Chain A
Amino acid sequence: MSNIVIRRAGLSASRPAVPGLVLVAGLAVLAAVPGVASEYWLSAVLTPFLILSLAGLGLNLLTGYAGQLSLGTAAFMAVGAYATYNFAVRVPGLSLLADLVLGGLTTAAIGTLFGLPSLRIKGFYLIAATLAAQFFIEWLLTKVNWFSNDDTSGVLSAPRLSIFGWSIATPVSRYQFVLGVVAVLFAVAASLVRSELGRRWMAVRDMDTAAAVIGIPIGRTKLLAFAVSSFVIGIAGALWAFAYLGTVEPHGFDLNLSFQVLFIIIIGGMGSISGNFYGAAFIVLLPIALSHAAGALAAIGVDVGQLQNLQKILFGVLIIVFLIKEPDGLARLVQIARQRLRNWPLRA
């Protein structure tokens, strides 16, 4: 922590953490993408990238801002997917957006329930509660047929998507739909963490005994963190199933996915909004980079079939390197780079 550069906290400045211009530019670029990108890129890379960023955002609110470690992200994504599915299939009058919001709200309720132990259990032990959530929910969704609308195959196909007559059936329209939802939720979240609630979360994260003494209602603050985070994660789960996988099944939402989202926020930066994009980009692009490098790797004798394992090792190494060298993740590295760039003309 011997950084002599005075770090801008971002939160207290009255201008946004990511300058508006960059954000608008980023959105413009993302919106323009369908014009240039192939269908493969849209459905296999960019759409999952956006959805994973959203899942990362949800987890970041809970773990990065409020300091409550969770390994149950995938289970909550599953809840969102199944809830949205049930609303879509059982209540025919509702629009897709309403289904999504209701799915998110259901996940928020479940998330708050599994967050109750955090009122009594602190810090590291809390992972027991979220692991319980992960395994229990996975089991429940497999065993209880009502959730799957009594479909016995175990794998549900996602219903046709459409809003107000716009049929979301092509990779381009799916991408645009996801982009819209993600943009809205990110904007709201960016505003939320600058509100008093965001500050309370960070106070609870940094020292909850002191927070209690200055009057912050710890219980309510923690439960709100679970609720808001689960809302976002639930919607991410619904999008994951409907707009990416095309199917809804419990085993796609296992502990490994929870780990992946945790890695997104570690690498991207905990306690950051833009970091979720960086982390998700990493997770999505690294396997692709590796498989493109497969040719080169084969030349030095590495079996291509081992790519999965290499990837695993690489992820592990990166986690450790980031934790040691830059605990605030890629977001912080980007911030430092921008500052250097700003100072650069002035350095004689």
Chain B
Amino acid sequence: MTSLERPLPLPTEPLLSLDGISLSFGGVKAIVDISVDVHHGEICALIGPNGAGKSSLLNVINGVYRPQQGTVTFDGTGSRRMSSHDAARRGIARTFQNIALFRRMSVLDNVLTGRNLRRGSTWLEQTFRVGRASRDEAIQRRQAEVVIEALDLQRVRHSIVGTLSYGVQKRVELARALAAEPRLLLLDEPMAGMNADEKRAMAGFIVDANEQFGVTVVLIEHDIGVVMDLSDHIVVLDYGKKIADGIPAEVRVDPAVLAAYLGTRH
């Protein structure tokens, strides 16, 4: 039983709570008064037409953008904005739409960078191989291997990331995020550009992360079929506003959602 397996009963308080978030860039309103609760252990999907503000919302959650109004409450502590460093420290990890991997490093090294906040020794100790360094190094590598195996990346563990295919790179990014043992995982279009097989595999990995590693997931995704299958909770955005929020069965038949997607422009 590794430390990455799911712990005990879930609390009833939401893990993540967005209250009245509003964000604008210059005159453009990207997000208008959005409030969402994400509960422990759920998979929550953010969907909506392009430009609806989904990526911006993710960026607000992990501190990349600072909203003009509203608070982000994570794990009981609220603030207008956490710095991205704080977000990482408190257990929020994420992937990006355009793949933010370290292209000149290997897969294993990329995954190991995900563990940088879990280090038990300093660089000086590691350089001179003293103190806790060797034991710590062994622990880090073991945890990295757990994630690499979970995501079926053993065969490419030493390959330079820049040489890998798009689909594999997306998996490496997920691995790096998971290696940090996060409480909350933010995924920005994890299946973009993948074929049906790859999507199925990726969906499987996300479910594994959620069930085996106990990670709460918020993901942005365009493939409605995948979203309906995968998520416990769906939030629909359009023009920066929330137009629906509920379980898949409800959202699927919501008239406002249908109107937004089928293009009755307002």
A interface with B by C-beta (< 8 Å) = 1-3, 6-9, 11-13, 188, 191-192, 194-197, 199-200, 202-203, 205-207, 209-217, 224, 271
Contact = CB atoms under 8 A, between A and B. Distances in A.
A73 to B, nearest CB: 22
Contacts of A224: 123
Interface stretch (B109-117, B226-234, B242-250): B109-117
B100 A213 contact: yes
B112 A199 contact: yes
A62 to B, nearest CB: 16
A123 to B, nearest CB: 16
B116 A215 contact: yes
Contacts of A199: 105, 109, 112-113, 116
21 contacts: A1-B162, A6-B163, A7-B160, A9-B158, A194-B126, A195-B126, A200-B116, A202-B105, A203-B102, A206-B101, A206-B102, A206-B105, A207-B100, A213-B64, A214-B116, A214-B176, A214-B177, A214-B180, A215-B117, A216-B113, A224-B123
B162 A202 contact: no
B116 A8 contact: no
Interface in B126-177: 126-129, 156-160, 162-163, 176-177
Given A203-B102, A213-B84, 6 more contacts: A12-B106, A194-B126, A195-B126, A210-B102, A216-B116, A217-B85
Contacts of A205: 104
Given A196-B123, A197-B123, A215-B89, A11 B109 contact: yes
B114 A214 contact: yes
B29 interface: no
Nearest to A215: B88
B89 to A, nearest CB: 6
Contacts of A191: 126-129
Contact of B127 (A8, A188, A200): A188
A209 B127 contact: no
A209 to B, nearest CB: 7
Given A6-B158, A203-B113, A206-B103, A196 B126 contact: yes
Contacts of B64: 213
B158 A212 contact: no
A2 B117 CA distance: 33
Contacts of B113: 199-200, 203, 211, 214, 216
Contacts of B105: 9, 11, 199, 202-203, 206
B159 A196 contact: no
Contacts of A2: 163
Nearest to A8: B158
B200 interface: no
B82 to A, nearest CB: 12
